Amino acid sequence: MGTKKYGAAVAAVVLALGVGVQLAAATPAGATATVTSHFVWSPPASDVTGDTAYINNGATNDQPNDLVFVTPNYDAHGICPCTYESAPIGVWYSNSTHEWAVFLENQGTMPVNESFNVLVVPHSSRRAFVSRSRASNTFGDYMLINNKYTNGNPNAVLQVTQNWNPGGVGGAYNAHNIGVWYDKAKKKWGIFNEDRTAMATGLAFNVLVGTSASNGGQATVLHTKASNRSGDTVFFKNAETTGNPNNVTFATENWNPGGKGGTYNNAQIGVWYNSTQEGAFDEDGSSPPLHSAYNLLIFSS
């Protein structure tokens, strides 16, 4: 696993703050959010138990119908503790604590000091919704999404997060890294297991299409090339992230952007900032294959 390095200024901040610091919050706990919001959540050790890291935030507390999207952030705001987490992740709603949480789909132990970029959409719409795997839409290692804004649209940019119990109801594990792909024959987007394991029925996924429901995010597709790949990371440059460690970026693997190509990358994806630019990386330390791709949703802060 490659070593990630930081400039002296960042290191000094790390030493000053220490680890386990909550770096940002969109809404104070106890408040109620009615618009889409995003924030970085670095849970204190008291909010991490077993396979779960609870999110204590006014945008999510007591909101079982929220659509929550998460991406691990190795060094939120360019500040360590710099924690790897290689297991597939999802979100779930605790009816006992009335909080949303990030959890490990393989039911392993959640690392302390892991940080997450969190996007909260407070209600479903045609561009932000829960998609479920059923016998009628599940084939082999994937399920198909039936949606006005994705059907017949190979250039749609989707963000997807596994949801254990939408609305606080149900509960189904899928201990596999996931991605999205466009089925040219059926003219629909699908969600698939990167390890090609059969997709179970009864699973649920939060899906965001494009940017209109994101409240300010910018979407792009990142392609892995020899020129932008370094070790476990694919770096990218744009106005929102370059020179800006406070950016908040979400990543979903895309098997065939625009319906072209098709490259697997069986890894949980995280993001990190290397003192000058942002990158998407394989949390297990593997090197992303050339031509693999990522849908990115980027907020400048």
Q: What is the pLDDT of residues 20-44, one digit of tens each?
A: 333 344 444 445 567 999 999 999 9
Domain membership flag for residue 83: yes
Inside any domain, residue 127: no
Nearest Cα residue to 250 out of 286, 199, 210: 210
Residue 185: predicted pLDDT: 98
Residue 176 lies in a domain: no
User: What letter represents residue 166's amino acid?
Assistant: P
Instruction: Give whole-number Cα distances, 33 to 29, 39, 43, 161, in Å.
Output: 10, 13, 20, 20
| Residues facing residue 219 across a β-bridge | 297
For residue 262, the tally of other CB atoms under 10 A from its CB is 13
Q: Please report whether residue 194 resides in a domain.
A: no
Rounded Cα–Cα distance for residues 198 and 144 (Å) = 13
Q: Sort strands 158-163 and 229-230 into parallel, antiparallel or unpaired.
A: unpaired
Cβ neighbours of residue 169 closer than 8 Å, sequence gap 6 or more: none
**What is the tens place of the pLDDT at every residue in 258-300?**
999 999 999 999 999 999 999 999 999 999 999 999 999 999 9
Residue whose pair of structure tokens reads 């969109």 in the numeric block = 26
Q: Is residue 167 part of a domain?
A: no
Task: Say what the pLDDT of residue 33 is.
Answer: 60
Query: Closest by alpha carbon to 294, among 245, 224, 243?
Result: 224
pLDDT, residue 34, reads 73
Strand order in the sheet with 138-139: 138-139, 142-144, 188-193, 178-183, 248-254, 293-299, 218-223
How many of the other CB atoms lie within 10 Å of CB of 108? Answer: 15
Instruction: Give the closest residue to 213 by CA, choosing from 87, 66, 58.
Output: 66
Residue 102 lies in a domain: yes
Asked if residue 265 is part of any domain, the answer here is no
What's the domain range around 100?
38-121
What is the number of structural domains in the chain? Answer: 1
User: What pLDDT score does 7 carry?
Assistant: 37
Is residue 254 situated within a structural domain?
Answer: no
Residue ranges of the chain whose pLDDT lies below 50: 1-30
CB distance 142 to 181 below 8 Å: yes
Mean of the per-residue pLDDT values of the chain: 91
